[in-house]
Structure 1
Amino acid sequence: MVANAALRLRIAERRMTKAELAREVNAEVKTLTGKLGTVSERTVHNWLTGQTRWPPAKIRLALTAVFDCPSEELGFVPTGRAQSSATEEDVKRRDFIAAAGGTTVAALTGAAAGPRRIGISDVQHLQARFAEVVASDHRHGGRLSIETRAGQLADEALALQERSTATQRIRAQLYASAASFMSSAMWAAIDGRRFAAALQYHQKAASLAAMSGDSSIQFRIWSHAGSLYRHLGRPGDALAANDVARNLPIARRDPLFASLGHARHAAIHGLTGDTNAVRRSLGHAQEALDRADSGVSRPLWITAFYDQAELGSLALAAYLSAGSWEEAEAHAHRCMALRRGAMQRSHAITTVRLAHAQLGRGDLEPAVATAMSVPAEVSAHPRVTGMLNAFDTKLGDLADGSNLARTWAEYAHNSRRTTA
């Protein structure tokens, strides 16, 4: 029996206790399967001593999400049958489906009994799982476990399509469900700064959405693509992708979709420094939002996040990118006043953007106070971390060696130790 030195080192680097690691793994298992995990301190002890060399698949996925690295890098070694299996990705896919209980392909398709006819209840089951993915994204955002789960559920929807008989309408809805899951995997990858994976998800999602004929999910996917290229610093590609979304029938028919399309266009224009284009797009976005009928039935994914606060957030991003500090700060305050309480990650992103705007205006002391107000539990989110690191660099350029810079440096150091 060989002790797991790699895992012990990872735990030491993060200053975690066995109980803390157990709690985090159990939480990730719940994100993956819908049920809280049963990992205990004794379980962690067995990992560290080498008594357990290759945990079950859902535990490996949870550990991967906690430490953001593959199981092998945590010192775990496949044994026996696991070692001879095709690939780790195949193991993850098979074991995840087995671990997900009531959402398995077998449970939905009745594979042992041969093909069966599927109907609207099967589609509704998948839509309920999609609602869970959207809710998990709002709570956590960017986690590898969300990306993995969404990708697996897309596979589940496609397997249901292949192993069953259905009407053309139901098949179209199954493709739309698969595209929805794939778009959530894409967004989780974007939010977690895993851009190469996001590009791959986009290709798959766009193909599935085209086969579904559902312009609302096509809008989501191409709008996400615009955001992806914006984060990659490619405004030309971002504008082109967002134009695909804006020209879809749903955007012409529903002012809420039109508003989101214009708002994201404004954020992209911010990268080019074209403040006139930013103002023009934001004006169109506000006008469309004012016309949107709140009584209209719409997909969950857009009603769950897009409102006046999110329009303000995109306006803030646009003006911040364009270097219009005063307008950026004004939109930040409006957005924070309107933001829904449950969206902690979004609130944190707005807070850091406000700090950047204050820094741009030369208000260094308020900027540092704003940045220090970001909750520690949210500051570890990849987007928030990157924005705080950029804030650190800008503050160093403006006030290197000052008492204010030292205060921030000490706070940032202690904060990283707390969340590590």
Structure 2
Amino acid sequence: MGANLILQSRMEELGLTQDELARQLNKALLQITGRPGEISSRTIRNLLSGRHSRPIGRTCAALEHVFGCPVEELGFSAPRSMQRPPEDPVRRRDFIASTTGTAAAAAVPITKHRRSVGMSDVARATASMNELVAADDRQGGHTGLAAIALQGRSRVLELQQRNASDRVRRALYALAAEYTTIAAWSCIDLRELDRAQKYLHESTTFAGLSQDPSTGMRVWINMAMLAYQRRNWTEQLAAAQAA
């Protein structure tokens, strides 16, 4: 019996504590079975210690749902009820040949595991954002930079659709706010102040969802600076006070 270092590594990658993983697994069981799970942090400790190297089927299904991979890739042995028999390649070829692509898609739904999102994904998105900030420092804002910033925001929001810990979700929302702010300042340089105002309002929403005070402060400072450029002194004062 040895500690499950693979599971420990994946939890660290996703920013999951033992309590958070237990909550995620119970949430997954509710989605899968319609009943809330009863997994506790003690269960997680047993999984990490190696005491439970072959979890029961319900727990395995929840683990696969949260991490987006078979339990074998998490360092566990699947129970017999979940072991996947090898597929007969001849039967598979016969099936594909006997159906059209549309009919096959309609008759046989294909389920894919979606990889969970972790702090390494956040780090990559942050590095891309920092490159945009550096480009803005060198060249100032322009139409292309605003478009790239909005594309970065879209990619970050797409990551929100996958399994993630609360910590990762908050970090992704903070990045969405930062990307949107970059787009706003490109619009300011282009003197498209109405678009800039729209993007900064969107930034305040993402900053609120991030629950990160420093991100919120930066957005409100930007709002105050834009209000100054528009000579809206009342809004400038309110934004500065909010910051």
Q: TM-score, normalised by structure 1?
A: 0.31
Q: How many Å separate the matches in 1 of 2:182 and 2:112?
A: 32
Shift of 1:158: 0.3
CA RMSD of aligned residues (A): 1.6
| Aligned counterparts, 1:129-208, within 5 A | 129-162=128-161, 164-208=162-206
Partner of 2:55: none
Which one of the candidate residues 218, 221, 227 is aligned to 2:219?
221
- Contact conserved, 1:179 with 1:209, CA < 8 A, in 2? yes
Within-5 A mapping of 1:246-257: none
Question: How far apart, in 1, do the equivalents of 2:185 and 2:213 lie?
Answer: 18
Name the counterpart of 1:240.
238
Deviation at 1:114, TM superposition (A): 4.0
Q: Distance in 2 between matches of 1:173 and 1:147?
A: 21
Which residue of structure 2 aligns with residue 118 of structure 1? Answer: 117
Note the C-alpha offset of 1:169: 0.5
Note the alpha carbon deviations across 1:42-84, whole angstroms, 9 max, x for none: xxxxxxxxxxxxxxxxxxxxxxxxxxxxxxxxxxxxxxxxxxx
Does the 8 Å CA contact 1:226/1:242 hold for their aligned counterparts?
Answer: yes
Q: Measure, in 2, the Cα distance between the counterparts of 1:151 and 1:114.
A: 27
Q: Which amino acid aligns with 2:177?
A: A
Letter in 2 for 1:135: A
Q: CA deviation at 1:178?
A: 0.8
Distance 1:143 1:228 in 2: 17
Task: Structure 2: give runs of 5+ residues left out of the alignment.
Answer: 1-67, 69-110
Q: Secondary structure, in 3 states, of the residue corresponding to 2:128?
A: helix
> What aligned pairs does 1:261-410 form with structure 2 within 5 A after superposition?
none
Letter in 2 for 1:219: M
**Partner secondary structure for residue 131 of structure 1:** helix
Q: Distance in 2 between matches of 1:151 and 1:159?
A: 12
Identity, in percent, stands at: 33
Mapped contact 1:182–1:205 kept (Cα < 8 A): yes
2:197 counterpart letter in structure 1: L
The one-letter amino acid paired with 1:125 is R
Return the offset for 1:199.
1.0
Q: Deviation above 3 Å: which 4+ runs of structure 1?
A: none
User: After superposition, what is the alpha-carbon deviation per residue over 1:151-187, rounded to whole angstroms, capped at 9, x for unaligned?
Assistant: 111111001111x101111111011111110111111
Structure 1 residue matching 2:178: 3-state secondary structure: helix
Deviation at 1:194, TM superposition (A): 0.8
**Aligned equivalents of 1:161, 1:207: Cα separation in 2:** 15
Q: Which residue does the alignment assign to 1:6? A: none
Structure 1 residue 113, shift from structure 2 partner: 4.4
Query: Is contact 1:179-1:217 (8 Å) kept?
Result: yes
In structure 1, distance between residues paired with 2:222 and 2:130: 18
Shift of 1:191: 2.2
- What CA distance in whole angstroms lies between the structure 2 residues aligned with 1:181 and 1:121? 18
**Partners of 1:146 and 1:188 within 8 A in 2:** yes
CA contact (8 A) 1:141 1:192 kept: no
In structure 2, what is the Cα distance between the partners aligned to 1:226 and 1:244? Answer: 9
* Per-residue CA distance 1:278-316 (angstroms, 9 max, x = gap): xxxxxxxxxxxxxxxxxxxxxxxxxxxxxxxxxxxxxxx
Counterpart CA distance in 1 for 2:128 and 2:159 is: 14
Give the whole-Å Cα distance in 1 for the aligned partners of 2:185 and 2:212: 19
Cα distance in 2 for partners of 1:235, 1:176 equals 27
**Structure with the higher fraction of residues in helix conformation:** 1
Contact 1:183 1:220 in 2 (8 A): no
Q: Which residue type is aligned with residue 226 of structure 1?
A: A
Task: Tell me how far 1:202 sits from its aligned partner.
Answer: 1.1
Matches within 5 A, 1:15-164: 113-162=112-161, 164=162
Provide, for residues 21-49 of structure 1, a one-character-per-residue CA deviation record: whole Å limited to 9, x for no partner. xxxxxxxxxxxxxxxxxxxxxxxxxxxxx
In 2, distance between residues paired with 1:239 and 1:148? 30
Q: Within 1, Cα distance between the matches of 2:242 and 2:170?
A: 21
- Letter of the structure 2 residue corresponding to residue 126 of structure 1: A
Task: Indicate the SS of the match to 2:219.
Answer: helix
Mapped partners of 1:118, 1:128: distance in 2: 16
Find the aligned partners of 2:206 and 2:226 in 1 and give their Cα distance.
19
* Distance across 2 between alignment mates of 1:192 and 1:142: 7
Q: Secondary structure at the match of 2:200?
A: helix
List gaps (5 residues or longer) in structure 1. 1-108, 246-420
**Partner secondary structure for residue 137 of structure 1:** helix
